[in-house]
């Protein structure tokens, strides 16, 4: 049952990420930034830089992209520490098992 649950979660997460449309590249950049340091939290500024480097121009748009990843359950941002991390271990597992999604 656990394997079926994980596979369903993984499939749903991949579909959800693809629905970002033009924002998918920035979302992938943010996830890759967090994934590179997982399980350690990443400096929020580094994640914002990754989003910006993916083509998101304004600071408001960068913050919106990060907020969307948080609202969709991909990332957790600790405002007091100024860090970001995967929201759940299951999200980290999904990211690690999707080599094509790490672009």
CB 76 within 8 A of CB 87: yes
Q: What backbone torsions phi and psi does residue 86 show, to the nearest 5 degrees? A: -60, 140
Q: Considering Cα of 9, then 17, then 35, then 81, what sign does the dihedral take?
A: negative
Q: Is the pLDDT of residue 27 over 60?
A: yes
Give the structural domain span for 68. 2-102
| Residue 100: per-residue pLDDT | 57
Number of domains in the chain: 1
* pLDDT bracket for residue 19 (50, 70, 90): very high
Number of neighbours of residue 71 by Cβ within 10 angstroms: 9
% of the chain with per-residue pLDDT over 90: 75
Q: What is the CATH number of the domain that holds 48?
A: 1.10.10.10
* pLDDT bracket for residue 6 (50, 70, 90): confident
pTM: 0.88
Q: Distance (Å, rounded) from C-alpha 87 to C-alpha 28?
A: 15
Q: What is the DSSP letter of 88?
A: S
- Please write the tens of the pLDDT for every residue from 44-74: 999 999 999 999 999 999 999 999 999 999 9
Q: Distance (Å, rounded) from C-alpha 37 to C-alpha 41?
A: 7
CB 98 within 8 A of CB 27: no
Q: What is the mean pLDDT of the chain?
A: 91
């Amino acid at each position: 049952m656990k394997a079926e649950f994980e596979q369903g979660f993984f499939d749903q997460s991949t579909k959800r990420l693809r629905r970002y449309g033009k924002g998918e590249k920035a979302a992938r950049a943010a996830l890759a930034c967090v994934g590179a340091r997982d399980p350690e939290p990443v400096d929020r500024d580094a994640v914002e830089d990754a989003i910006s480097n993916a083509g998101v121009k304004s600071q408001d748009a960068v913050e919106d992209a990060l907020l969307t990843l948080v609202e969709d359950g991909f990332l957790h941002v600790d405002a007091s520490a100024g860090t970001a991390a995967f929201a759940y271990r299951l999200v980290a597992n999904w990211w690690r098992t999707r080599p094509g999604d790490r672009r």
